[in-house]
Structure 1
Amino acid sequence: MAAAVAGFLLSVAVSCGSDDDTSPEPAAGAWPLTGVDAAGADLARPALAVKIENSAAARPQSGLNAADVVWEQVVEGGISRFVAVYHSTLPPAVGPVRSVRPMDPPIAAPLRGLLAFSGGQAPFIDATRAAGLQVVEPGTGPGFSRSADRAAPHNTYADPTALLGQADDAHRSPPPAQFAFGADPSAVASGVPAGRLDLALSAIAEPRWTWSAAEGVWLRAEGGVPALGADGAPLRATNVVVLRVDVVDTSFTDAAGNPVPETVLVDSGEALVATGGHTVEATWSKASVGEPVVLTLADGSPVTLAPGTTWVELVPNGSGSAAVG
C-alpha cells in the first residue's frame, strides 16, 4: 500500500505544471466557464468545484442546474458521482456533498480555485493540495450543514458563497476558460443531427440525454427516468461532451472494501460533442494535471461549444458505451 500511495502522489506532483498554457482565450466580458455575456457582473471571484453524490439515495440533488460545468465519473461499485463547478451562478445550497476521489484533482486543478468535499482518504486529499487546489471540507470553516430530511451520509450540503469566502490569497483569481465558445458551434457546423445520447458508464450508471428543440437544451435522464433537481426542474445542459477514458485500479479500497477506481485523465482519446441537436466526433487530450482538456476536430481545428452550461461524461473504454440516436 505504501508504494501505491507514493506512486499516486508522485504522478500528481510531476504533472501539475506545464510550460505552455493551453487554456482557451475567454471572450471579453463573458463568463469564462460558459462563454455567456456577463452583463457587467463582477468576474473576479474564483471557481468552486464541489463533489456531489449521484446514488439513488442522493437524488434529487440541489444546485446542479446552477453549475457552469458538471463532470460525471465512475467510482467504486459502478455508481457515478459529479464534480460540479460554480462560478457564474452561486445557488444557496448544493449537495449532497461526498468525498474526494483520485481523478478529482485533474478535473479541478485547471480551474486554479477551491475543491470542496466531505472528506476522503489522506492520499487523495494530499494529491488535491499537491495539484495546487485549496481544500475545503467540514472543519476547515463555515459553509457545510446537515439536512434533517436525509439520512447520513447523504445529508451533507454546502453554501457556495460561504465556501468561496474562505479563499486564500493564492486562490482568489477567476478561472481560465476550459473550453472554446462561439456563435457557430462545431457540432452544428460540421456534425450530424442527433436527438439522443445513450451512455453507459457502468451497469448501473446509464445517463441519457435527449435534445429538446423547444427549450434549446439537452435534458438528462437516469436509466430512462427524467432527472430532476430538488426544485423539480429537469436537469439540463447546453453542451454534452463525452470523453472515452481508461479506468484503472488504484489499489485503494473504500470503507466497505470495494476497490477505488481512477479515471486516467492525463492522456488522450476519442470524444463526442453534442450541441444544438447535433453531434460531432472529436479527440481529447490533457497534457498535465494542471491543464484543461483540449478538444480537437478531425482536421485539427479546435472544437467550439455553444455558450452555456456543459456536462462532461467520462465513459470508460471497454466496459462503457456511447450511442447516438
Structure 2
Amino acid sequence: MTADRRHQGRYEEEPFVVHTLARTSAPRLLLTGALGLVLALGGCSDEPTEAPVPSTRAADIAADKVSPPQPVVPPTWPLTGVAAADVVNRPALAVKIENPPEVRPQTGLDQADVVWEQVVEGGVTRFVAVYHSVVPDEVGPIRSVRPMDPAIAAPLHGVMAFSGGQPGFVRALADAGLQIVSHDEGDPGFYRTRGRAAPHNVFGTPATFLSQADAGHQASPGEQFRIARRPELATAAASGTPAGTVALTMSRSSQPSWTWDAATATWLRSESGTPANAASGARLAATNVVVLRVDLIDSGTTDPAGSPVPETRLTGTGEALVATGGRTVAATWSKDDLATPLALVGADGQPVQLAPGKTWVELVPNGTGSVTLG
C-alpha cells in the first residue's frame, strides 16, 4: 500500500539568459614630450578606441549564468500518492465493514484510500476500509474484527474502529500498536440505524472516531505501497500484459470481479456479475487491484454460531498479481512482521510501483480460491 510514490509537479523553466557587462574605455596616458603627461579620456583622443574584448575567465562566465529553477514537487497523500495542496496531517482510520449480500450497498466504502478484502467464516468476505485523504460523513455497516486484522492495520499505526470481536482478537490489535475505538466499549461515534436488523445496523462517524486519537496516534501514516509519480510509470501500466477483467473466487459464496474502464481509468467492481455500488450511488472502483495468494488457516476459535473462524496468514511470502491501467503483472509479496508494510517485487527483482489513486487488496486463499484474467 513508501517511497517512489508521488505525482511529479509541473514547472516552467525560465529561459537561459547570459548577461553581458558593458565595458567603458579606460583612461589612457599619452606621453607629450620628455617631462609632460597629458591625460586623454576615451573619445577625446584622435586615436581609435579598442572594441571590448569578451571575458573568457571561468569566474566571469559563471557570474553571467542564471541557474534554472528547481522543480516543484507538490505534497502527496501517503496512502494514494495523489498530489494535493492541502495534505493534512492526521492519523489513518481503519474501519471493519461487512459484505454479505443483505447489507449492500455499504456506506462510505467508495471513499476509502485502501480497502482490504478477506474471507471470514461461512465463506463471506469482510473489509478493512482505510480512510485518510477523505473523511466521509458516515460509514457502515460496522462489524467485528478478525485475527488477520493486526497484520493489515498495524503498519498504519493509527486508529481502528469496529463493533465486536473475541477478546483475543481485540487484544492483538492493541498489542500491534493500534488505538482501538470500540462500539462494545461505548466509545463515541457509533449508532444504530433504522430499517436494518441487528447486527447489520451499526454505523459510525469517522470524524468522531478520529477526534479520539491520543498523543501517540496523531501522525499521518507512512507509505504502504510504492507509488509512481505518474500513472504511466506504474509497473503494470508500463510493462504488464493487457487484461480487461480480473475475476476472483474468494470462496463458493464470494466471487467478485474487476473490469477495466478506460473512460475513468479505473477498475470497476462487481459482485457475482452484478455491478457493485456504494450507498451514494457511486460505482465501487479502484486505480490498482492487488491480488495476494494467501494461506487460510484455522484460528482455533469459533464464532457464536459454532463455525470455525479462519485466519489469513499475512506474514511471510507468496504469489501476487497487480492490475493497473488495463494491464497486469505477476509479482511476489512479502511481509516480515505485523508492523512492516507489505512489499511487492516483480519478476525482475525490482519493487512494483502502483499508480496514484485508490487501491483494493484481495486476499485470495490458496487451494480454494482462484484468479482468472480475461
TM-based fold match above 0.5: yes
User: What percentage of residue pairs aligned between the two structures are identical?
Assistant: 59
**Residues 1:256 and 2:280 are matched in the alignment:** no
Aligned runs of 1:209-228 on 2, under 5 Å?
A: 209-228=258-277
- In the alignment, what sits opposite 1:203? 252
Distance 2:99 2:142 in 1: 10
Does structure 1 retain, via aligned residues, the 8 Å contact 2:79–2:114?
A: yes
Shift of 1:214: 1.0
- In the alignment, what sits opposite 1:247? 296
**Residues 1:24 and 2:3 are matched in the alignment:** yes
Distance 2:314 2:125 in 1: 16
- In the alignment, what sits opposite 1:98? 143
4+ runs deviating over 3 angstroms: 22-28
One-letter identity of the residue aligned with 2:129 = A
- Post-superposition CA distance 1:112-158 (Å, at most 9, x none): 00111101100000001010101111134211111102111111011
Shift of 1:253: 0.1
Does structure 1 retain, via aligned residues, the 8 Å contact 2:5–2:353?
A: no
**Residues 1:53 and 2:32 are matched in the alignment:** no
Count of residues in correspondence between the two structures: 303
One-letter identity of the residue aligned with 1:123 = G
- Post-superposition CA distance 1:63-99 (Å, at most 9, x none): 1110000000000010000000000001100110000
List runs of 5+ in structure 1 lacking aligned partners. Answer: 1-21
Distance 1:218 1:188 in 2: 13
| TM-score (normalizing by structure 2) | 0.80
Distance 1:33 1:111 in 2: 10
**Residues 1:37 and 2:87 are matched in the alignment:** no
Shift of 1:24: 3.4
| TM-score (normalizing by structure 1) | 0.91
Taking only aligned residues, the RMSD between alpha carbons, in angstroms, comes to: 1.2
Shift of 1:232: 1.3
Distance 1:149 1:49 in 2: 25
Distance 2:314 2:267 in 1: 25
Does structure 2 retain, via aligned residues, the 8 Å contact 1:23–1:291?
A: no
Q: Please, which of 178, 185, 188 is the counterpart of residue 142 of structure 1? A: 188
* Larger RCO: 1 or 2 (CA < 8 Å, sep 6+): 1
One-letter identity of the residue aligned with 1:159 = T
Q: Please, which of 335, 342, 353 is the counterpart of residue 293 of structure 1? A: 342
Q: Please, which of 61, 64, 74 is the counterpart of residue 109 of structure 2? A: 64
One-letter identity of the residue aligned with 1:152 = A
| Counterpart secondary structure, 2:264 | coil
Shift of 1:23: 4.3
Mark the structure with the bigger radius of gyration: 2
Distance 1:211 1:73 in 2: 22
Q: Please, which of 201, 205, 216 is the counterpart of residue 155 of structure 1? A: 201
